[in-house]
Amino acid sequence: MTSFVRKDVASNTAAEARREADEPHSPVVRFGTGAPLRLDAGVELNHLQIGYQTYGEPNAAGTNAVLVCHALTGDQHAASLNPVTGKPGWWETMVGPGRPIDTERFFVICANVLGGCMGTTGPASTNPETGRPYGLDMPLVTIRDMVNAQAMLLDHLGIEKLLCVAGGSMGGMQVLQWAASYPERVFSAMPIATGARHSAQNIAFHEVGRQAVMADPDWRGGRYLAEGVTPHRGLAVARMAAHITYMSDQSLHNKFGRRLQNREMPTFGFDADFQVESYLRHQGESFVQRFDPNSYLYVTRAMDYFDLAADYGGVLANAFRGSKTRFCVASFTSDWLFPTEDSRAIVHALNASGASVSFTEIESDKGHDAFLLEEPQLFAIARGFLDSAARALGLPTGRSA
C-alpha cells in the first residue's frame, strides 16, 4: 500500500505524544501510591494522573458545576485551543460564554479519560516504576474506570455534586455510568447520540481499526515509543475507517458526491482520484499528529466492553432504580453508529425505573458527528434543559442566545 503519511509527521507524533502524555498543556492532578484506583480488570493503578481543563468559576454554594465528558478521540480541551493541533476546542459550539453550557453561569470541567494520551494516565504515559512508557503493560480500562477516575478528580477539586453531566458518543456512555454509579452526585444528565451498550457492529468496526494499528510493522508489539517509531500508517487507516461511521451517506454525498480531486479524468491508478478519498486521507494524516496509537486500542476496547445492564442483572432499568437525577436524552435521525433505537432503549429503561426523563430525536443529515456540529435544535434543547435544572437549584437565569 502506498503510504500517504509524511515521514516527518511520524517523528512529530511520538514527540507530541510523549510531551502531552506526561506534561500536558493543562492543569493536572497526580495521585500517589496512597490513593490507587481499583480497576474493573481486578488490579490497582498507582500513580494515577489526570489532565483536565476548567472553564468559568464555581459559585459560593458549589452548585453550578457541569462535567463535560469527551468522545472517543477527544480530550480535555472542550472549549480551548488544542495544544497539539492549534485548533479550537472540540465542543466550542456547546461550551462557552452565552453557549448552552454557559461558562458565564456554570463551572465547567472536562477531563482527559483514563487510557487517553493528553495528560491522564494511559499507555503513552511514563510508568514511574520503570521509567518507560506503559505500552501494553497498562491494564485495560472500562467506562466505569474512567468515571471513577473523574470522581477522584472532582473530590480533589472539592465538587460534591454536579448540576449536570453531559456528553456524546463515548462521552454519553460516561454520562450514563455517572448516573448509575453516583446518582447522589448527579442532579441532571444529558447523554447524546449514545447507547447503554456497544453493538456487535460497532465492536466489529473497532476491531478493524485495532487490527490496522497492530498490523503496522512499526507497532512493535506496542513498544513503538521505546523503540523510536510510530505505527502511523495503521493508525491513519483506522481513523479513515472510523470517520466513515461518524458521517451519513447523505452528508458524504452532499460534501463530495463522486467529484474528482483536482482533475478532469480518472488516473486509472490508486492515487486519490475522488475528493472523498483525499478527504479521508487528510483525516488519517491529521489524526496521527495528535493521538497515540495504543490509546486508540485502549479507548475503543473500553467502549466495546460497555454494557450497563450487564452490571444490574441484565435489566437496564435497575441501573437507575430510585434515581432522582433528571435526564435529557437526544439522538439524530441519520446517526447509524448509535441509532435512535439505542436512545429509546435508554428512555424506556428510565421510564421503567421511575426516573424523570425527556427525549428528542433531532432531524439531521450530518450523521453521528451531528452532536459536535452546528445543530440549532440541539442547542435549544440543551439550553432549556440546563436552564430548568439551574432554576430548580436556585441559580440565576441565563441570558438568551
Q: What's the per-residue H, E or C state across 74-119?
A: CCCCCCCCCCCCCCCCCCCCCEECCCCEECCCCEEEEECCCCCCCC
Helix or strand run (H / E) with residue 329:
strand 326-332
Q: 321 among the known binding-site residues?
A: no
| Bridge partner residues of 67 (DSSP) | 109, 165
Distance CA 363, CA 248 (A): 13
List the one residue out of 214, 216, 244, 223 whose CA is nearest residue 5: 216
Tell whether the torsion through CA atoms of 397, 166, 112 and 289 is positive or negative. negative
Q: 239 among the known binding-site residues?
A: yes
In the three-class reduction of DSSP (H, G, I as helix; E, B as strand; rest coil), residue 4 is classed as coil
Distance CA 198, CA 307 (A): 7
pLDDT of 13 reads 46
CA 102 to chain centre: 20
List the one residue out of 101, 90, 122, 144 whose CA is nearest residue 24: 122
Distance CA 198, CA 72 (A): 13
Alpha helices in 256-375 (DSSP H): 275-288, 293-305, 340-353
* 36 touches 149 (CB < 8 A): no
* 26 touches 13 (CB < 8 A): no
Distance CA 24, CA 94 (A): 24
Per-residue pLDDT of the chain (401 residues; tens, 9 = 90+): 445 555 555 455 457 657 899 999 999 999 988 999 999 999 999 999 999 999 999 999 999 999 999 999 999 999 999 999 899 999 999 999 999 999 999 999 999 999 999 999 999 999 999 999 999 999 999 999 999 999 999 999 999 999 999 999 999 999 999 999 999 999 999 999 999 999 999 999 999 999 999 999 999 999 999 999 999 999 999 999 999 999 887 877 787 777 777 777 777 777 766 677 777 888 888 899 899 999 999 999 999 999 999 999 999 999 999 999 999 999 999 999 999 999 999 999 999 999 999 999 999 999 999 999 999 999 999 999 999 999 999 998 765 44
* 97 touches 196 (CB < 8 A): no
| pTM score of the predicted model | 0.94
pLDDT of 2 reads 46
* 104 touches 66 (CB < 8 A): no
pLDDT of 181 reads 98
Helix or strand run (H / E) with residue 206:
helix 200-215
With 0-12 / 13-18 / 19 or more C-beta atoms within 10 angstroms meaning exposed / middle / buried, residue 83 is: middle
* 315 touches 309 (CB < 8 A): yes
Q: What angle do CA 173, 178, 179 make, to 5 degrees?
A: 100
Catalytic residues: 169, 335, 368
